[in-house]
Amino acid sequence: MRAISWDSIKRMIDRVDIVVEVIDAREPEYTRSRRLEDYTLKSKKVMIIALNKCDLVPEHVAYGWVKRLSDEGLICVPTSIKVGRGIDRLRGVMLKYARDTPLNPQPRPSYIDLPRIRYRGSRLAMLVGYPKTGKSSIINALKRRHGASTSPVPGTPGYTRGMQIFKIASHLYMYDTPGMLPIDLEHVDPIAYALRCNAPEELRDPVEPALRLIERILANNPDAIRDAYGLSITDPYKVLEHIAIKRGWFYKSDKEPLVEEAARAVIRDYHTARLNFYIPPPP
């Protein structure tokens, strides 16, 4: 599947007035990009964080993260598209900053890019974030109708393939973008890349990322593994073996548990939130 590169993100940031980074309330530090935030702020653009999927974490966890991000000086709006929370507030915050922001002197997209849009005098915003954080769902909620396609698992039909622009209010347009690569390190983090930028079925080695994910879950919410699979095991590899055994997945050759299939199931359950886990903010 196609993810947006850092160079394309930078070019887009240069062109827009407002950047809305969508992060996952279940694991904000694993789904935010400090590099993106730094570049946006350094470019003197408005940086707003939408802490999305708040319905998947307890309220005090969501507000703990909002406080932490606000303490860093970031504008942070908690949202949940599933239960319809935070969208009016997000629109309101964008409109407030759109009104207060001088027009971007950078070259604007040409009429060829935006054939039907009279952007003159309008502010441009962009939604950006790791794959599957809910960017297109936010666009649909802001527009109050389904225009952008969405999907639960990376690589399944519905992921965003290219830039698309939507009118959010008079004089405010917003780009939906494909999920970006996890790019905070100088190189791409292979685990985040495997989890977020690939369909689980297409992963050549699903076991390594699944083991790292299970480790992260066990460290934060061991109950999540028990609730999803009925297992009280603390060895990540054994978790995979037991899932395979429970579901009757075995290698034909030697009848050993088919851990690859169990790993794919765990990754899918992470994306569909069947694995109900979250990372609380540090005290």
Estimate the crossing angle of helix 236-247 against helix 222-229, to 10 degrees.
10
Tell me how far, at minimum, the Cβ of 53 lies from ligand GTP, in Å.
4
**How many Å apart are CA 109 and CA 111, to the nearest integer?**
7
Tell me how far, at minimum, the Cβ of 152 lies from ligand GTP, in Å.
3
User: CA dist 169 to 49, 98, 100, 181, Å?
Assistant: 19, 11, 15, 29
In the complex, residue closest to ligand GTP by CB: 179
Query: Binding residue for Mg ion (CB under 5 A) from 160, 192, 218, 263?
Result: 160
97-126 core/surface letters (b: 16 or more CB in 10 A; e: else) = bbeeeeebeeebbeeeeeeeeebeebbbbb
Q: 40 to 99, contacts with Mg ion by CB under 5 A?
A: none
Radius of gyration over every alpha carbon of the chain, rounded to an integer in angstroms: 20
Where along the sequence are the contacts to ligand GTP (CB under 6 A)? 52-53, 55-56, 80-82, 129, 131-137, 150-152, 158-160, 178-179, 273
Tell me how far, at minimum, the Cβ of 166 lies from Mg ion, in Å.
12
- Binding to Mg ion by residue 136, rule CB under 5 A? yes
Tell me how far, at minimum, the Cβ of 135 lies from Mg ion, in Å.
5
Nearer to ligand GTP, 85 or 242 (CB): 85
Nearer to Mg ion, 160 or 221 (CB): 160
**How many Å apart are CA 166 and CA 117, to the nearest integer?**
10
- Binding to Mg ion by residue 140, rule CB under 5 A? no
